[in-house]
């Protein structure tokens, strides 16, 4: 069963953020622009913080911790979201 994105804007962001011709190269990621925090991810996808945490716990969304802060790499996040909502 397909899940619907809660925001069509989120799907557009995900599709426009990916370059299908090239694999992700971590050297190309600008950490000043390509990293989101919990609040930004929740706003982009119009989901609650609790839903975001549930997705993380289930292993649906890749993230990393920097100190006490949870961060998401934009390109990897977009791949994860597309995978979730296109299965």
User: What are 34-65's pLDDT values in tens digits?
Assistant: 899 999 988 888 889 999 999 899 988 899 99
Confidence check: pLDDT of 76 > 80: yes
Q: Which domain, by its residues, includes 50?
A: 1-20+29-86
Report which of residues 46 and 3 the model is more confident about.
46
Contacts of 2 (CB under 8 A, 6+ apart): 85, 86, 87
Domain count, the chain: 1
Work out the average pLDDT over 67-74: 91
Report percent pLDDT > 90 for the chain.
25
Q: Rounded to two decimals, what is the model's pTM? A: 0.62
Q: Are 45 and 82 in contact (CB under 8 A)?
A: no
CATH code assigned at 72: 1.10.10
């Amino acid at each position: 069963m397909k899940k619907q994105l809660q925001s069509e804007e989120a799907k557009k962001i995900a599709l426009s953020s990916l370059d299908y011709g090239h694999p992700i190269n971590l050297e190309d990621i600008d950490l000043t622009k390509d990293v989101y925090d919990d609040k930004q991810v929740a706003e982009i996808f119009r989901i609650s913080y609790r839903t975001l945490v549930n997705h993380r716990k289930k292993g649906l969304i890749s993230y990393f911790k920097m100190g006490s802060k949870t961060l998401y790499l934009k390109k990897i996040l977009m791949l994860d979201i597309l995978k979730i909502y296109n299965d």
